[in-house]
Amino acid sequence: MNLSDYILKFLISKKIDNVFLITGGAISFLVDSFSRTKKIKYTCVAHEQAAAMMADAYSRMGPNLSCTMVTSGPGATNLITGIACSWFDSIPAIHITGQVNSYEKQGAQKGTKKTRQVGFQETDIVSITKPITKFSYQLKNPNEIKYILEKASFLAQEGRPGPVVIDIPMDFQKADINPKKLKSFKFKKPKIHKNLNKNLIKLNKLIKKSERPVILLGGGIKISKSENKLENFLKKFNLPIVTTWSGVDLVDHNKSNYIGNVGVYGSRAANFAVQNSDLLLCLGSRLDTRITGGVPKTFARNAKVISVDIDKNELSKQRGLKLFLKINSNLSDFFINYNAKHKKLKFSNLDWLKKCVYWKSKYPIIKKDYFKQKKYTNVYAFFYHLSKLLKKNSTIIADDGGHLTWALQALKVKKGQKFFSAFGNSPMGYAFPASIGASLAQKKSKVICIDGDGSIQINIQEMQTLKSNNLPVKIIVINNNGYGIIKQFQALYLNKRYEASIPKKGVTNPDFKKITRAYGINYNVINKNSDIAKVLKKTLNTNKPEFIEVMIKPDQKIIPKLQFGNPIEDLSPLLSRKEFAENMLVKTVNRSKKIFEAN
């Protein structure tokens, strides 16, 4: 049996049915194996970067792993930004890179070890990707293949998941192997953390004693595929729930005890809840500074913070934020054990939940006067309508910067909907290829891609992939004619010197209407509020790609937003000090007067 055929057989056994790839000299033997099986197919993309992002999204959608195949050198290095997306967000993916023949490579022959390059397009992709993968390995001989595939896919999925790279010399790709004689990788099933049950009892006591508890849901719940267990867990309590960005689709926005998204771009309600709480149970969140604010010690500073995280390095990363109880566990084990052993808790301080719910209604993100805006489309009004029209099982993938933030603030995510972005890496250009990958992961399902005018250009070449696969991806480009989040930063901190962020300073958009049509994709535009519902109704339900350009004010701000240095309860625009004080049940800190200089 040919080694390449063996690899495809392995991928099929892992339920991967689609590989994202570009062929090339050093990977052509592996790609040739697709001619000998119908159980797995491939999607040709136009840039390897997009392949890695498609695979990342495919993994997020699917039950399992994903895979890319690319050639050596630039094929491999082009993957890196996509690999980093999977690394920071803990997404399992296998990247198979072709390499020069084993006898040609650096160090294979005497005197060649220190040469910059020996074989054609030879590049040390293993060293380059080590810092952003769980495992990065160049095959040393063909007989290792079973061991290495098993090890790589195990490591990609075990513990805190992540991407892996397997680099395979060309000559090995066509080597004969005897599958029966290959060595296997032995792994131990990870044990449940020894203190878990003790900690659960502790946790229960703490919640019972607390007066103003809050539960914070993070992306780790999704990574451990514990969505259903979470639901049973939440039935045990009737407590205020807040979410991080990656946890936003874990709970229906309209659920009665859901308060909102927390953090720098969060809702006032969710931030008041956390900052007034006396106990914060964090489930699967690394408590990034986008959540805690720039000064982590000001976060939940009146609360006993309990964090459940599979990665003990995240539990030790305090940066001033003190964790009262660290539970180092897989979220799945956590829920299983808690749900089995603990009864529904009756919680006496009903005022607390009421207060949180009051904040949610008192401080809505979407304000009535947004709908009255005459010139341009109001971005918050746009997301209001989009929310209303999206079906329950929709998948929404947002890019980064302004449009990600607006989407997270204003979309009312329904139960069953999936919403994600490459949160930790946050590259421009993720959402569009990710939407293609997500659609292909689910039999060409509809996917809503929320993008910006700056970021859509990064992977615009994939319009061709979209068109040739005729996927019902709806590309929504929120156009503010420049880099919105940078403009807001420059307005605030750099005296409106918009270097490299606006058309006058060299950042120009192409004519998206012409570009879209050139690729044979339907173009639509929303110029003003009154266009929103009409255009969305027309485009969301078609069974083909649609491009929807939403023209918003070039200086549209993110509202509210934390000014650097403030604690998260004090979002800008600042409330009157009287109103602010009324919302703080506990002592607040003075906000920094020298917000910017101090940092």
Q: Which residues ranging from 158 to 187 are in contact with its own copies (CB under 8 A)? A: 160, 171
Residue 490 lies near its own copies (rule: CB under 8 A): yes
Spatial distance between the Cα atoms of 169 and 150, rounded to a whole number of angstroms: 18
Binds its own copies by CB under 8 A, chosen from 38, 114, 504, 587: 114
Q: How many CB atoms lie within 10 A of CB 568?
A: 24
Asked whether 565 and 294 are in contact (CB, 8 A), the reply is yes
Structure tokens at 594: 């020298």
Residue whose CB is less far from its own copies, 74 or 416: 74
Residue 491 binds to its own copies (criterion: CB under 8 A): no
Residues 30-49 that bind its own copies (CB under 8 A): 31-32, 34-35, 42-44, 46-47, 49
Give the footprint of its own copies on residues 94-113 (CB under 8 A): 101, 104, 109-112
Indicate the SS3 state at residue 454: coil
- Going by C-beta distance under 8 Å and a sequence separation of 6 or more, which residues neighbour residue 424? 85, 87, 88, 89, 288
Task: Provide, rounded to whole angstroms, the least separation between the CB of residue 228 and its own copies.
Answer: 27
Q: Is the peptide bond before 554 cis (omega within 30 degrees of 0)?
A: no
Q: Give the residue with the Cβ less far from its own copies, 406 or 483.
A: 483
Q: Give residues 347-376 in contact with its own copies (rule: CB under 8 A).
A: none
Residues from 129 through 148 that contact its own copies (CB under 8 A): 129-132
Q: What angle do CA 421, 424, 426 make, to 5 degrees?
A: 55
Measured CA to CA, the distance from residue 219 to residue 504 in angstroms comes to: 39
Q: Which of 2, 59, 68, 78 binds its own copies (CB under 8 A)?
A: 78
Q: Using CB under 8 A, which residues numbered 6 to 25 contact its own copies?
A: 21-25
| Residues in region 300-339 near its own copies by CB under 8 A | 311, 313-314, 316-320
Task: Give residues 254-283 in contact with its own copies (rule: CB under 8 A).
Answer: none
From 384-392, 413-421, 515-523, 540-548, span contacting its own copies (CB under 8 A): 515-523
How far apart are the C-alpha atoms of 485 and 563, rounded to whole Å?
13
Residue 73 contacts its own copies per CB under 8 A: yes
Q: How far is the CB of 562 from its own copies (least distance, A)?
A: 13
We find the least distance from the C-beta atom of residue 139 to its own copies, in angstroms, to be 17
Exposure on the CB side of residue 554, measured as CA atoms within 13 A = 11
The reply to whether 463 sits near its own copies by the rule CB under 8 A is yes
User: Could you tell me which stretch among 76-84, 182-190, 246-254, 255-263 binds its own copies (CB under 8 A)?
Assistant: 76-84
Among 14, 146, 212, 290, binds its own copies (CB under 8 A): 290
Q: Which stretch binds its own copies (CB under 8 A): 56-64, 117-125, 231-239, 406-414?
A: 117-125
Residue 384 tokens, joined: 């209001």
Rule CB under 8 A: is residue 189 a binding residue for its own copies? no
- Near its own copies by CB under 8 A, which window of 362-370, 389-397, 438-446, 504-512? 504-512
Angle between helices 196-209 and 331-341 (to 10 degrees): 70
| CA 267/CA 255 separation, integer angstroms | 16
Q: With binding defined as CB under 8 A, does residue 544 bind its own copies?
A: no
Strand partners, 165: 95, 136
CB of 584 to its own copies, least distance (A): 27
DSSP annotation string for 312-333 = HHHHH--TT---SEEEES-HHH
Q: Which residues contact 243 (CB under 8 A, 6 or more apart)?
A: 216, 217, 218, 250, 251, 258, 260, 261, 262, 270
Site residues for its own copies, 206-225, by CB under 8 A, read none
Does 461 contact its own copies by CB under 8 A?
Answer: yes
Buried b (16+ CB within 10 A) or exposed e, 285-300: bbbbebbbbbbbebbb
Give the residue with the Cβ less far from its own copies, 43 or 210: 43
Closest distance to its own copies from the beta carbon of 458 (Å): 5
3-state secondary structure 165-211: EEEEEHHHHCCECCHHHCCCCCCCCCCCCCCHHHHHHHHHHHHHHCC
Among 54, 84, 196, 447, binds its own copies (CB under 8 A): 84
Please tell me whether residue 522 binds its own copies under the rule CB under 8 A.
no
